[in-house]
Structure 1
C-alpha cells in the first residue's frame, strides 16, 4: 500500500479518536445518522478490526474504517470515511487497501453496503453479489 505523504495508518483500536468517529458518523454520514452514541460505542467495542488514518504532524484522525468478521472466512466492511478536507489525496483507496488487502482478512469474502463510491470499491474487487448471496433487509 502506498501511504500518501503526511499520513499514517494504524489498526490500534486504542488510538481511535471515538469523538472524531462519532462526530463524522452522526453528522456527515448518510448511513450513520440514525445511530445513537451508545450504538457507535458498541460497534467500536465489538469490531473485529479498525483502521484509522492519522495526520503525522498532529496525530488527528482524518479517516476510519471498521470491520466485523468471523475471523476465518467472512468480513463486512463498515463506516469507511475520509474527512472532507483531505479527500482527493488517495486516502480512501489506501484505507480500503489497508483494511481488506493488507490485514489479516486478505483472503476473506468481503461484503459492504454503500450508496456511493462504487468506483472505489470496484478497484478492490467489489461487485454485485453472486447467486449464493441472499440478504434480509433492515426493517427500520
Structure 2
C-alpha cells in the first residue's frame, strides 16, 4: 500500500469511495469534494497494489499548534488491515506539539482513534452544520 497526497484528478475516485462507504450524505458531488480537498492543508489517499484508491483522509490545521482531522475513510472490505491507521499517522506526522481534534461519532470510531493516542475531551464545543447537502457553486 502506498499513501500519497490527493490530487485534483483523484476527486471522482475519492467521491466513489466516500459514497460507497457511508459518506454520501456529506459529499454531494465530486466538484464539492474537490473544493474540500483544495481547502484542506492535508488530503491523502491510500492506494492498493494496483493503484486503486482504497482510503482517504483530510485535515485542516496550522501545522504548529492545532489540527482538525476531518475525514478518515477506508473501503469496507479492506478495513482492519492498518490502512486507516497509516492514513492517520501520515496526517499527524511526528510533531507531538500539535493538539489534534476530531469527531468520533461513527460506530467503532472512538476505539479506533483511542488506539492512535486520542482520548475524549471535556473541553470541546461545536456548532453543528445544518443537515443538508451542499452542492458546488
**TM superposition score category, shorter chain reference:** 0.7 to 0.9
CA RMSD of aligned residues (A): 2.2
1: CA distance between counterparts of 2:37 and 2:8? 12
Question: Are 2:11 and 1:9 equivalent residues in the alignment?
Answer: no
For structure 1, which runs of at least 5 residues remain unmatched after alignment? 1-6
Distance of aligned partners of 1:87 and 1:107 in 2 relative to their CA distance in 1, 3 Å threshold: same
TM-score with structure 2 setting the length: 0.79
- What residue in structure 1 maps to residue 97 of structure 2? 107
Q: Which has the higher contact order (CA 8 A, sep 6+)?
A: 2
Q: How much does 1:106 deviate?
A: 4.5
1: CA distance between counterparts of 2:67 and 2:87? 16
The aligned length equals 128
TM-score with structure 1 setting the length: 0.77
Tell me, what secondary structure is at the counterpart of 2:7?
A: helix
1: CA distance between counterparts of 2:2 and 2:12? 19
Match of 1:49 among 42, 53, 66: 42
CA displacement, residues 74-112 of structure 1 (integer Å, 9 cap, x when unaligned): 11112211112222212122221121134xx55311111
Shift >6 Å, 4+ stretches? none
For structure 2, which runs of at least 5 residues remain unmatched after alignment? 132-137
1: CA distance between counterparts of 2:97 and 2:66? 9
Tell me, what secondary structure is at the counterpart of 1:129?
A: coil
